[in-house]
Amino acid sequence: MPSGEQPSMQGLLQQALKMQAQLTVAQDELAAAEVEGSAGGGLVTARMTGSGELVGLVIDPGAVDQEDTETLADLVLAAVRDASREARQLAAEKMGAVTAGLGAPGGLGAVSGLGGPGELGRLGGLATPAGPASLPDLP
């Protein structure tokens, strides 16, 4: 597009529809993908979907001490946090790949002020780990 020329509404609509379809595919991939986090050298392992749903928790019997349940609780929290970090990283990669071509550094987030992959999925009525679908208020 020549310098100074504004994009057409039809072009913008087509781009938004294409992006919505790509976001839907990325969300489906995230929901199907699993990541793993662990703590205590593998004594506790947590599995999450790429969309952040905890789907498994394995506790090695060696981690269970009747006299020290606090340590076990700490290991569970650490494993879940580790899996959650992995899920957020996977989501950022998937959503970043969809929005990377929007012309600004950082993709859509840099253009519109949206933050993170959870916010990006709110476009076009898509629900994400960040919550129910909603469009941001425009100035």
Instruction: For residue 136, give the nearest of 114, 118, 105, 121 by alpha carbon.
Output: 114
Pairing, β 34-39 against β 54-59: unpaired
Q: Average the pLDDT over 7-18 and give the result.
A: 88
Q: What is the pLDDT of residue 86?
A: 94
Q: Average the pLDDT over 47-74 and give the result.
A: 93
Q: What is the pLDDT of residue 109?
A: 43
Beta bridge partners of 46: 37, 57
Per the model's pLDDT, the better-predicted residue between 108 and 67 turns out to be 67
The dihedral built from the CA positions of residue 56, 80, 45 and 63, taken in this order, carries a sign that is negative
Name the token pair of 118. Answer: 């959870």
- What is the CB neighbour count within 10 angstroms for residue 72? 17
Instruction: For residue 22, give the nearest of 104, 87, 94, 128 by alpha carbon.
Output: 94
Give the integer Cα–Cα distance in Å for 33 and 10. 35
Q: What is the pLDDT of residue 1?
A: 53
pLDDT band at 98 (very low <50, low <70, confident <90, very high): confident
- In terms of pTM, does the model score above 0.85? no
Note the Cα 125 to chain centre separation in Å.
Answer: 16
Q: Has residue 3 got a pLDDT over 90? A: no
pLDDT band at 57 (very low <50, low <70, confident <90, very high): very high
Instruction: For residue 131, give the nearest of 8, 122, 31, 83 by alpha carbon.
Output: 122
Q: Has residue 78 got a pLDDT over 90? A: yes
